[in-house]
């Protein structure tokens, strides 16, 4: 059994706490939050869904250039956890998520072009390898390489939450779903953050 403690803890999202793996600095272990009994079943279901989807991606032999790799589950002193690759920045620090950067003063103004190029690259990657996400949110995407070599990597909410996986029936339907998620994220970004170009959706999705 793997022993996790607070010295290894580095972040928390909406459903899980993230700990560094005690023996491998390139891995992290995510543990479902315990204190939301009512939500617990839904949380476990979404984790199970993500793990199933990851197995499919592994089988399809995709490139992991913009997606953190999943390395199976493990028993810990805090319950069963899922192991993932940690995305580290060029200086070795754990990468910060895109929301963190977007909230920084002048970030959008100073790095608009780089940001758009990086978003375009991530979108192309997801279309190329048909990677579907249940949600697509800036806090589930980490940014590395700032200030001059931006790269975005998806770290959470991979998979398809449809009951009947309609969007997986054909490539065209899968791509349409990916585009819809992107359209929604970009629309939300424009509403929330000042300084993004009016042409953002076109700039990212139609090139």
The residues that touch ligand ADP, with contacts defined as CB under 6 A, are 11, 13-16, 18, 28, 30, 68, 84-87, 94-95, 97, 139-140, 142, 155-156
CB 36 within 8 A of CB 68: no
Place of tokens 């790799």: 69
Least distance in angstroms from the C-beta of 100 to ligand ADP: 7
Which residues have C-beta within 8 Å of that of residue 137, sequence separation ≥ 6?
Answer: 99, 157, 185
- State in angstroms the smallest separation of the CB of 197 from ligand ADP: 25
What does 87 interact with, of ligand ADP, Mg ion, none (CB < 5 to 8 A by kind)?
ligand ADP
Which member of 2, 11, 13, 205 binds Mg ion (CB under 5 A)? Answer: 13
Minimum distance, C-beta of residue 101 to ligand ADP, in the bound complex (Å): 11
Q: What span, in angstroms and rounded, lies between the C-alpha atoms of 97 and 48?
A: 23
Per-position x/- string for 125-164, each x denoting binding to Mg ion as judged by CB under 5 A, each - no binding: ---------------x---------------x--------
Q: Are 82 and 30 in contact (CB under 8 A)?
A: yes
28 with 39: CB under 8 angstroms?
Answer: no
Nearer to ligand ADP, 21 or 177 (CB): 21
**Quick one: DSSP state of residue 7?**
G
- For 37, list phi and psi in degrees, rounded to 5: -50, -40
Residues that bind Mg ion (CB under 5 A): 13, 140, 156
């Amino acid at each position: 059994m793997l022993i996790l403690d607070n010295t290894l803890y580095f972040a928390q999202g909406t459903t899980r706490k993230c700990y560094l793996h005690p023996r491998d600095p390139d891995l992290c272990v995510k543990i479902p939050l315990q204190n939301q009994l009512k939500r617990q079943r839904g949380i476990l279901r979404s984790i199970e869904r993500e793990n199933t989807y990851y197995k499919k991606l592994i089988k399809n032999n995709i490139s992991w250039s913009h997606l953190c790799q999943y390395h199976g589950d493990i028993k810990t002193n805090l319950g069963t956890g899922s192991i993932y690759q940690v995305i580290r920045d060029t200086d070795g620090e754990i990468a910060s998520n895109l929301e963190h950067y977007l909230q920084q003063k002048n970030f959008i103004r100073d790095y608009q072009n780089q940001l758009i190029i990086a978003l375009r690259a991530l979108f192309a990657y997801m279309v190329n390898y048909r990677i579907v996400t249940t949600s697509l949110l800036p806090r589930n995407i980490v940014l590395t390489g700032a200030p001059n070599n931006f790269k975005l990597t998806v770290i959470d909410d991979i998979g398809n939450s449809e009951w009947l996986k309609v969007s997986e029936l054909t490539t065209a339907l899968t791509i349409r779903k990916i585009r819809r998620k992107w359209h929604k994220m970009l629309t939300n970004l424009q509403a929330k953050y000042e300084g993004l170009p009016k042409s953002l959706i076109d700039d990212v999705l139609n090139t």
